[in-house]
């Protein structure tokens, strides 16, 4: 009898211990539901998206932010919020700043046939004269960097913005990247004026980023030749604009065909005499510059007629 009672106590004790272990090892149903709910809110569509913010040298510069929506209109709204002072400061990379005045609201935004129409509150115009045009550049270049967006129409309180009130600069009713960015004028006459957008390099700490500059020059050559000459010879450290393209680099020829631009260089473009490598920063500045001036999907780098790189524009 005692033996049976002892065995029974042992079994009961073991069951109690097992129950306690289950309580601590396996979470309660409520906890498991909480975990499930949290998992449901994890968004797998977060991607790095180009955005044009102000850098420390007052240039409108290319960087990127994480955007968690692939819908064009939603993405545009998020990017505008990042561009707005006090909008989404936590997303802005170190060394950059927003430019749209604080408290500016998007009253309406729509996308159709490659065009984004965005209606801002009148707070948009509460900006200094020095930054007025740069703000428009930032908005236009950011929104037209969204895939399938080619043009932007800016409204203020329902009216199309056709003139900047402080600088009196007239704006086209429909804006695209031909509006230019960080504009520089190097003109000696009114003849043979060419506008060419060139991407230079700048640096924050150990990180490089790219600054586009639209130059207006008296030069009737192909834009590809102007770009390479500028990057190889005419960059200005005093303006905090750099290029890693070797001095003496020459563009022997360029051909645009079937969505591709083929560039043929002399050997000076190579990073060393013993390899067929070109610095990544050089590839990026040239590729970004070519895409800014030509409607191409690929940039091919040849050295003395031998292909060494083929860059898909979407990978830059």
Say which residue the tokens 């860059």 belong to.
311
Going by pLDDT thresholds of 50, 70 and 90, the confidence category of residue 236 is: low
Mean pLDDT of 148-173: 97
Q: Distance (Å, rounded) from C-alpha 64 to C-alpha 291?
A: 18
pLDDT the model gives residue 221: 93
Q: Distance (Å, rounded) from C-alpha 225 to C-alpha 263?
A: 10
Going by pLDDT thresholds of 50, 70 and 90, the confidence category of residue 17 is: very low
Mean per-residue pLDDT of the chain: 86
Rg, the chain, Cα only = 28
Question: Is the per-residue pLDDT at 41 higher than 50?
Answer: no
Instruction: For Cα atoms 245, 250, 255, give the angle at the middle one, nearest 5 degrees.
Output: 110
Q: Distance (Å, rounded) from C-alpha 73 to C-alpha 184?
A: 32
Higher-pLDDT residue of 117, 89: 117
Q: In this structure, what are the phi and psi dihedrals at residue 234, rounded to the nearest 5 degrees?
A: -115, 15
pTM metric for this prediction: 0.83
Question: Is the per-residue pLDDT at 3 higher than 50?
Answer: no
Q: For residue 175, what are the β-bridge partners? A: 152
Higher-pLDDT residue of 99, 191: 99
Going by pLDDT thresholds of 50, 70 and 90, the confidence category of residue 234 is: low
pLDDT in tens, 248-272: 999 999 999 999 999 999 999 998 8
Looking at residue 175, the DSSP 8-state letter turns out to be: B
Residue 200, both tokens = 């230079």
Question: Is the per-residue pLDDT at 123 higher than 80?
Answer: yes
| Ranges 71-75, 154-158, 243-247: which has the least confidence | 243-247
Going by pLDDT thresholds of 50, 70 and 90, the confidence category of residue 240 is: confident
pLDDT the model gives residue 37: 36
Higher-pLDDT residue of 47, 32: 47
Q: Please, are residues 237 and 202 in contact by the beta-carbon 8 Å criterion?
A: no
pLDDT the model gives residue 316: 59
Q: Distance (Å, rounded) from C-alpha 313 to C-alpha 177?
A: 17
Q: In this structure, what are the phi and psi dihedrals at residue 184, rounded to the nearest 5 degrees?
A: -130, 135
pLDDT the model gives residue 192: 84
Q: How far, in Å, are 90, 97, 134 from residue 86 at the CA level? A: 9, 10, 18
């Amino acid at each position: 009898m005692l033996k049976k009672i002892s065995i029974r106590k042992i079994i009961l004790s073991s069951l109690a211990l097992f129950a306690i272990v289950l309580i601590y090892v396996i979470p309660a149903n409520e906890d498991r539901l909480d975990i499930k709910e949290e998992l449901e809110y994890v968004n797998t569509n977060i991607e790095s998206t180009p955005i044009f913010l102000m850098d420390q040298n007052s240039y409108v510069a290319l960087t990127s932010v994480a955007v968690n929506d692939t819908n064009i209109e939603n993405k545009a709204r998020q990017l505008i919020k990042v561009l707005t002072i006090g909008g989404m400061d936590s997303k802005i990379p170190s060394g950059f700043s927003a430019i749209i005045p604080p408290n500016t609201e998007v009253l309406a935004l729509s996308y159709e046939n490659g065009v984004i129409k965005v209606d801002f509150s009148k707070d948009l115009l509460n900006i200094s004269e020095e930054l007025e045009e740069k703000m428009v550049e930032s908005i236009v270049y950011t929104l037209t960097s969204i895939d399938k967006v080619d043009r932007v129409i800016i409204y203020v309180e329902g009216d199309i913005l056709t003139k900047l009130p402080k600088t009196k600069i007239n704006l086209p009713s429909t804006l695209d990247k031909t509006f230019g960015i960080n504009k520089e004028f190097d003109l000696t006459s009114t003849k043979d004026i060419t506008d060419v957008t060139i991407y230079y390099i700048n640096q924050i700490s150990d990180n490089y980023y790219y600054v586009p500059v639209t130059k207006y020059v008296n030069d009737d050559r192909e834009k590809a030749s102007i770009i390479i000459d500028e990057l190889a010879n005419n960059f200005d450290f005093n303006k905090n604009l750099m290029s890693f393209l070797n001095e003496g680099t020459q563009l022997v020829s360029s051909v645009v065909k079937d969505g591709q631009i083929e560039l043929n260089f002399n050997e000076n473009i190579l990073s060393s005499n013993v390899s067929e490598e070109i610095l990544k920063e050089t590839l990026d500045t040239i590729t970004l510059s070519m895409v800014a001036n030509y409607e191409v999907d690929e940039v091919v780098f040849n050295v003395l007629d031998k292909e060494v790189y083929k860059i898909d524009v979407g990978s830059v």
